[in-house]
Amino acid sequence: MDKQIDVSVIMGSDSDLPVVAETLKIFDKFNVKYSVNIASAHRTAEFVKQCVNNAINSGVKVFIAVAGMSAALPGVVASETVLPVIGVPMEGKALSGMDALFSIAQMPPSIPVACVSIGKAGAKNAAILAIEILAINNKSISEQLLQYRKEMKEQILNKDERLNKLGYQKYLEEMKK
């Protein structure tokens, strides 16, 4: 059996890696074990199935599938497993990622794929959603997630305090630095 993993990330192209890196950074922060593969739903369909099966054999609990344009990859992954699949639509040149967003969001009944926002924000949200799923049965991850949210809250409150202390003009000037 392969190494034990919690999340399998499959992207349709290596051009997706800069966005997928946002997902992986969060997993690294939370010490989530993951695998990453490049597999095209259209050009390497058998390899996609192999990636899914390898992940299942490695104990995976959640899949993240990243794809642009027709965004078939999340649906293909979902068709091969009953585990949760999170689809991340990628920004494209022609339709700015709306094509991928609609493709992922409009899955047929009974083969669901969770859909997050387009691009980097979606990649980050997919990581957090996967961590929330893992937290259901993992107290350590749950506690880390609560701490992460507390840190985000403190960052916003600190920014608000700074804004009110400096005024909006000076705050904007300092943001440019």
Question: Which stretches of the chain are DSSP H helices?
Answer: 17-30, 45-57, 73-79, 98-105, 119-135, 139-166, 168-176
Place of tokens 């609609």: 102
Q: What is the CA radius of gyration of the chain?
A: 18
Report residue 15 as tokens.
């051009």
Q: What's 15's DSSP letter?
A: G
Which of 85, 83, 62 lies closest to 73, judged by CA? Answer: 85
pLDDT of residue 1: 44
Place of tokens 């022609």: 94
pLDDT of residue 97: 93
Report residue 118 as tokens.
């387009």
Name, in order, each residue with C-beta under 8 angstroms of 99's C-beta and a sequence gap of 6 or more.
Answer: 68, 69, 70, 71, 92
pTM comes to 0.92
pLDDT tens track of the chain, all 177 residues?
458 999 999 999 999 999 999 999 999 999 999 999 999 999 999 999 999 999 999 999 999 999 999 899 999 999 999 999 999 999 988 899 999 999 999 999 999 999 999 999 999 999 999 999 999 999 999 999 999 999 999 999 999 999 999 999 999 999 998
Rounded to whole angstroms, the Cα distance separating 60 from 153 reads 31
